[in-house]
Amino acid sequence: MPFTFNPGEIPGLMIIEPRVFPDERGFFLETYKETDFTAAGIPGPFVQDNHSRSARGIVRGLHFQREPHAQGKLVRVSRGAAWDVAVDIRASSPTFGKWAAVELTEENRRMYYIPPGFAHGFLALADDTELQYKCTAEYHAAADAGIRWDDPEIAIDWPLNEVLVSDKDRCLPFFKDLM
């Protein structure tokens, strides 16, 4: 199997470590193989791919889409480094309101699977960080929602003190007001 699947701290989250094949030319790795992901309990299909670039200190999120347009995401960093965060917003979950994070870098080549029912955000830890992710549902503007990145109730331990946040993300509601 070209992937190692590690359950995350919260049920449903999964850290994926692809097998890398280096040689004198560089390296090769598979970033997605439906049969392996399905066997590990990560359902598809993935229907949209996104790619962002951010400078060091940029926070994006915490975003999600409301039902029936909720998205699962398979996230990876192809350049730079990011602190990738998922917040459980499944009201019936025993970990409702809890967060988990993983550092994704171009060197460790890890991926993070975040199922539907989670808010997602990240902090770029290096300049020109490029984050790519596959989604299980297409973007639907009317279902777009989010939670403040610095919500004291969730209390995410972001690894940088000085960050930049878009006006849109700075105005997102607090968890208690949204849920």
- Catalytic positions: 63, 133
Q: Which structure tokens are listed for 76?
A: 């990876």
- For every residue of the chain, DSSP letters joined together read --EEEEE-SSTT-EEEEE-EEEETTEEEE-S--HHHHHHTT------EEEEEEE-TTEEEEEEEE-TTS---EEEEEEESEEEEEEEE--TTSTTTT-EEEEEEETTT--EEEE-TTEEEEEEE-STTEEEEEEESS---GGGEEE--TT-TTT----S-SS-EE-HHHHTPPPHHHH-
Distance (Å, whole) CA 162 – CA 156: 14
Q: Which structure tokens are listed for 89?
A: 């917003």
